[in-house]
Amino acid sequence: MLRINNLNVSYGSIQAVRNLSLEVHEGEAVALIGANGAGKTTTVNAISGTIPSRGSILYQGKEINGMAPHKVVKEGIIMVPEGRRIFPKLTVVQNLIMGAYVRKSSKKEVLQDIDRIYQMFPRLAERSKQMAGTLSGGEQQMLAIGRSLMANPKLLILDEPSMGLAPIVVKSIFTTINRIKQEGLTILLIEQNAAMALSVADRGYVLENGEIHFHDTAKNLRERDVVKKAYLG
């Protein structure tokens, strides 16, 4: 579904991503793991078209490198950005409705989808009329995921969903990510928390200093000594 070949991104003289190649097949959950500054966010920003990059990004056989960000969204690549970026001054339900604006659907369909999100995240249902900026960090992450699902993604990219959250909240977020995967959605999961990421992913890529060091099935990565030592503690 997504095939990146020799991606390179530089910020002035700093090369943040170097010759990165990765693939995500339909129905798969793929983890891109790496420490702070490894180049994870840079990679997703290149995919979503928000920063310029060199190399090829093929999505369903079509070159999307160079495409405007809103067109990438129209293709069905929806990102849940690092730091969530929900609309703090809008209510929970208003945020969800905003998520649906990229698609053409009837009010009835939008309402059905909001219902689906509320079943997935009962907490959001209870807080439907609450201002999003007053939600807890975990609830904001749920809302960010819910809002992205409202856009009917074909490929969902999650950028560090565990960031800044307590372990118990992280666990609950990952249970939901796993459920979304089980429903058949294709997922690219960017994470520093390798243990959680590899618990839901089918395969994983390990990024260090802007380069993919190795990639394998999640199961093999979990058993690899170097991954255990550096990323699994």
Q: Footprint of ligand ATP on this chain (CB under 6 A)?
A: 11, 14, 16, 34, 36-42, 192
Minimum distance from CB of 165 to ligand ATP (Å)?
14
Helices (H), 185-231: 194-200, 218-223, 225-227
**Amino acid in the structure at residue 160:** E
Minimum distance from CB of 51 to ligand ATP (Å)?
8
The CA distance from 57 to 152, in Å, is 21
Minimum distance from CB of 138 to ligand ATP (Å)?
19
The CA distance from 43 to 183, in Å, is 26
**Amino acid in the structure at residue 85:** R
The CA distance from 159 to 163, in Å, is 9
* Identity of the residue, 172 or 209, whose beta carbon is nearer to ligand ATP in the bound complex: 209
* Identity of the residue, 34 or 76, whose beta carbon is nearer to ligand ATP in the bound complex: 34
Q: Which residues lie across from 7 on neighbouring strands?
A: 20
* Identity of the residue, 2 or 124, whose beta carbon is nearer to ligand ATP in the bound complex: 2
Residue 103 buriedness (CB in 10 A; 0-12 / 13-18 / 19+): middle
Minimum distance from CB of 42 to ligand ATP (Å)?
3
Four-point Cα dihedral 93, 49, 4, 22, nearest 10? -50
The residue among 220, 184, 149, 162 whose CA lies nearest residue 28 is 184
Minimum distance from CB of 13 to ligand ATP (Å)?
10
* 3 state DSSP class of 59: strand
* Identity of the residue, 139 or 191, whose beta carbon is nearer to ligand ATP in the bound complex: 191
CB atoms within 10 A of CB 37: 12
* Identity of the residue, 113 or 159, whose beta carbon is nearer to ligand ATP in the bound complex: 159
Minimum distance from CB of 46 to ligand ATP (Å)?
9
The CA distance from 87 to 52, in Å, is 26
* Identity of the residue, 12 or 184, whose beta carbon is nearer to ligand ATP in the bound complex: 12
